[in-house]
Structure 1
Amino acid sequence: MSDTATMPRKPKSSPPAPPDLALKKAPSQSRAVETYERILGACGELLGEVGIERLSTNLVCQRAGISPPALYQYFPNKYAILHELGTRLMAVQNELLTPWAVPSTFELGEQDFAASVAELFLRTLELTAHMPAGIWVTRALRAVPSLQEVRNRSHDFVTDMLLVPFMTAHPRADRMQARLTIRLAIDALYAAQELLFDDPSLDPQAVATTMAQMVSAQLMRLRG
């Protein structure tokens, strides 16, 4: 019998547990709200300065001018703070869709619809770039596995939000295929936005136009 056959097997190590993202409590009094917002603001500032890996709750406390216990009243770790920043970013981005997501938008011809998608894409890009740490929060939602659910949940919400006016405008379209196409379009547009943040040499207008034409062409095929 070989030596390797008699060697005891090492127990398989369990994957690390995902970080707790749940808010410990929501601030209620004005002073607590101020502390809460200072934590978020400090985290956003530091995220752009030191990046995701070097970011720590101690650094956030130093920047916010508070003690660690004050931070831990609300957030169990840095990922919970990033989770809140990501949720806020997605909500603000989605607000841009409200006046756009109406049946009349989906009744536009292919070129006009593409132009409206391109305009919305550029507005979302500008909004994200001008939000405190918006670009870095976007990167965190992609890079940190435990935070990806924030983006996925938002994309599911937007998909259902857009499906209603699309089906109202085109009731004979295949609903399941329409939902799949809209969801893929949202993910593709979001990926294009991330690409522009990662590669500033690209022309935002060219990217917006190209992506919008692709999305428009796919949706035109679904019209009944």
Structure 2
Amino acid sequence: MAKTRTIKKTKPAPERATPQQERAMQTRDHLLDVAGELLGEVGIENISTNMICARAGMTPPALYRYFKDKHAVLETLGQRLMDRQNEALLRWVERYTPDGIDTLTTHLEDLMRETARITKAEPGGAWIERALRASPKLAHVRVASHRFVTDRITDAFAPLLPGVPRKALWRRVRLTVEFGYATDEMLDEEDLIPRNDIIRDAARILNLAMLDLQRRDD
């Protein structure tokens, strides 16, 4: 009889205490910016703390005051990008929710464009997203962020769709969130389709997914 394989969950690499002084915060952010740039140049397999230190002009002990190891650096990079994207989502929800479900869905393209702008502005942004999907040690950052976004969008949509069970709404939103982030990753990979076309068509697909729920609510 075949044995059932147990999947061992990977614990996140613990980060050192977040610095509170402005100078220390600037140093930490500089290390993260350098790490993001290097990630885009050499990839997740080859990047190392020694490489980050050499590029940043710092010694390894200085880096280890902020991060335990390479995966802690990458984990924090991922969390920083997800936080910045999520802040845009929260602004979008706050801006358009009072105007109703139609306004929210109509402005999905705005949200996708802002998310794409944030990713492009982040050092190594596209590669950070790839690392969050490729590494089992980093996946928890992406999943937690996507669930957070799903919760916030569900909270905004639920009062506008009282006839849709929350569980069904959360499931649909969770799928659309995953699709949205996959689209963001695609922008840096697919050069056969103009970026504007990718965003526009993806927004239409997401709009249809939410309008389908609206019809169920009628």
Q: What is the TM-score normalised by the length of structure 2?
A: 0.85
**Structure 1 residue 48 and structure 2 residue 40: aligned?**
yes
Q: Secondary structure at the match of 2:187?
A: helix
CA contact (8 A) 2:112 2:180 kept: yes
User: How far apart are the structure 1 equivalents of 2:117 and 2:26?
Assistant: 27
Deviations 1:68-108 (CA, angstroms, capped at 9, x unpaired): 11212221211110111111101111111223215345421
Match of 1:145 in 2: 136
CA 1:58–1:217 in structure 2 vs 1: closer, same or farther (change >3 Å)?
A: same
CA contact (8 A) 1:114 1:209 kept: no
Larger radius of gyration: 1
CA contact (8 A) 2:105 2:210 kept: no
Q: What is the TM-score normalised by the length of structure 1?
A: 0.83
Match of 1:160 in 2: 151
Deviations 1:120-173 (CA, angstroms, capped at 9, x unpaired): 112211221122221121111111121111111011001110111101112222
**Structure 1 residue 197 and structure 2 residue 169: aligned?**
no
For structure 1, the residue ranges without an aligned partner over 5 or more in a row are 1-13
Match of 2:27 in 1: 35
CA contact (8 A) 1:104 1:169 kept: no
User: How far apart are the structure 2 equivalents of 1:15 and 1:96?
Assistant: 34
User: How far apart are the structure 2 equivalents of 1:41 and 1:114?
Assistant: 34
Match of 1:99 in 2: 91
Kindly report which structure 2 residues correspond to 1:182-193, keeping only aligned pairs within 5 A, or say none: 182-193=173-184
**Structure 1 residue 90 and structure 2 residue 73: aligned?**
no
User: How far apart are the structure 2 equivalents of 1:20 and 1:172?
Assistant: 39
CA 1:37–1:205 in structure 2 vs 1: closer, same or farther (change >3 Å)?
A: closer
What is the identity, as a one-letter code, of the residue corresponding to 2:75? H
For structure 2, the residue ranges without an aligned partner over 5 or more in a row are 1-5
Q: Secondary structure at the match of 1:98?
A: helix
Match of 2:3 in 1: none
Deviations 1:159-211 (CA, angstroms, capped at 9, x unpaired): 11011110111222221111100000000111111122112232222222222
Match of 1:118 in 2: 109
What is the identity, as a one-letter code, of the residue corresponding to 1:39? L
How far residue 16 of structure 1 moved from its aligned partner, in angstroms, is 9.5
CA contact (8 A) 1:19 1:79 kept: no
CA contact (8 A) 1:47 1:55 kept: yes
What is the identity, as a one-letter code, of the residue corresponding to 2:140? E
User: How far apart are the structure 2 equivalents of 1:165 and 1:145?
Assistant: 31
Aligned pair count reads 208
Kindly report which structure 2 residues correspond to 1:62-101, keeping only aligned pairs within 5 A, or say none: 62-101=54-93
CA 1:192–1:17 in structure 2 vs 1: closer, same or farther (change >3 Å)?
A: closer
Give the root-mean-square deviation of aligned CA atoms. Answer: 2.3
CA contact (8 A) 1:174 1:222 kept: no
Percent identical among aligned pairs is 36
